[in-house]
Amino acid sequence: MIVTTADSVIGSENAESHDIEKNIFSSETRGDDRRVNNDPRQDQRPGKQQRQNNQPRRDKRDVHGWVILDKPVGMTSTHAVAVLKRLFQAKRAGHAGTLDPLASGGLPIALGEATKTVPFVMDGRKRYRFTVAWGEERDTDDTEGRATQTSELRPSADAIRALLPRFTGVIEQIPPQYSAIKVQGERAYDLARDGETVELKPRPVEIHELTLVEHEDNGLSVFEAECGKGTYVRALARDMGRILGCFGHICALRRTLVGPFREADMIPLEQLEALCNRAASGEGSLADALLPVETALDDIPALAVTRADAARLHRGQAVLLRGRDAPNSSGTVYVTVAGRLLALAEIGNGELIPKRVFNLTGLTASSGRNNERV
C-alpha cells in the first residue's frame, strides 16, 4: 500500500448549532420533492406519479460531487439547495454551512455521496469580506433589523486598527439574538421573532485574521476576516461598535473561502441554469459544474489499496496493514482504489477500519475538474 498526502459561522450561520442531517434533502423528506398526494396507495401503482399542476415528475438520479454556488443576495441557503437539487435532478443534496439571505458568496452544496463529507467542510476555515455601518446597532445585527441604539460618533481608522487585536485569536463571543442556536429546543431566532429576549452564553471562537481593508468618511468600514467554526461576523460588528462607543451593524457580507473551496470554485446560479439548458439539448454536461467528492478531503491523507483489499473494505470489513508499504501513522484517511475514492477509514492497531463507504455509480465530476484547481 502506498500512502500519499492528499478547512453562518458568519452571518446567521452557526455550524455547531445545525444538525448536519437536517441540511441534507432526500426524495423522502422535505423540500421541493414533498409528495402532493399522501395516499399510500399511489405508491403501489407502477408509473403512476403525481405532481402539482399535473406536471410530470422528473426522475431522480444519482449525482455525486460538490457544487460551490456563488449564492446571490436575497436567497436562503435552503432554497439554494432545493434549486440545485432540481437542476441536477439529484436524489440527495445538502449544504455545508448556512449563509444569510443578506450574504453572497460561497455556499458549498453536496450532492449524493458528497453529503458524507459535509462535516469536513463545516469544520474548515472560512474567509469573509464584510462592511460595517457605524452609528447604529440593530436587533438582528444587520440591515434587516430595527435600530436599538444610535450614536453620532464615527470611529477613525486608527481607532479601529488599534481595536482589532482584541478580536484576533481565541475570543469569547455572545451569538446574536437572531441566530440558529437552540434554547430549550427552540431556535433563538424563532424566540426573538416572538418578542422574547434570549440570554445566550458566550462561547469561544477563533479569529485567525481580522483586517481593516477600507475606511470611508460616510461611516462605512470594510473588513476581511478568516475564522473558525461557529464564528458570527454580525457579533464582531456589534461588539466592535460597542467598544468604540459608536455602535455598528453589518450592511454587506460575502464569503470567499469555505474549507478547501475558494472563490475561483464558485459558480453563479445563472451560469448553472445556462449549463443545465445546454446539457438538456445535448450541448454540454452538468458534470462540468461538479467538483469530485474527495475535494472536501484535501487535508486528509489518502491511502491507495489493492483491489482485493478494496473488496473487503467495501463489504465493511477491516484490512490488516502489513509489509514495507504499510503506513506507520494512525487516524482518519480516505481510501482510493485505482485512483477512485472508495471509503473513509481509520488506521489503528495495524488495521484499516472502514467508517464510510462511497458508492459513486452515476453522474460524477468531469475528469479534468481537479486539474483545473491546481
Coil/strand/helix, residue 341: strand
C-alpha cell at 48: 403512476
Q: Which residue has the cell 475561483?
A: 264
What are the residues whose beta carbons fall under 8 Å from the beta carbon of 204, sequence distance 6 or more?
170, 171, 172, 173
Catalytic-labelled residue, pool 7, 19, 62, 100: 100
CB 12 within 8 A of CB 98: yes
What are the residues whose beta carbons fall under 8 Å from the beta carbon of 214, sequence distance 6 or more?
220, 221, 222
The DSSP call for residue 363 is B
Nearest to 158 by CA among 221, 206, 106, 102: 221
What are the residues whose beta carbons fall under 8 Å from the beta carbon of 237, sequence distance 6 or more?
130, 132, 141, 248, 249, 250
Coil/strand/helix, residue 357: strand
CB 100 within 8 A of CB 237: no
CB 266 within 8 A of CB 99: no
Q: How far apart are CA 107 and CA 104, in angstroms?
A: 8
Q: Which residue has the cell 450541448?
A: 283
Nearest to 59 by CA among 83, 17, 27: 27
**Across-strand partners of 212?**
223
Coil/strand/helix, residue 119: helix
Q: Which residue has the cell 461538479?
A: 290
Query: Is 100 in the active site?
Result: yes
Report the catalytic residues.
Answer: 100
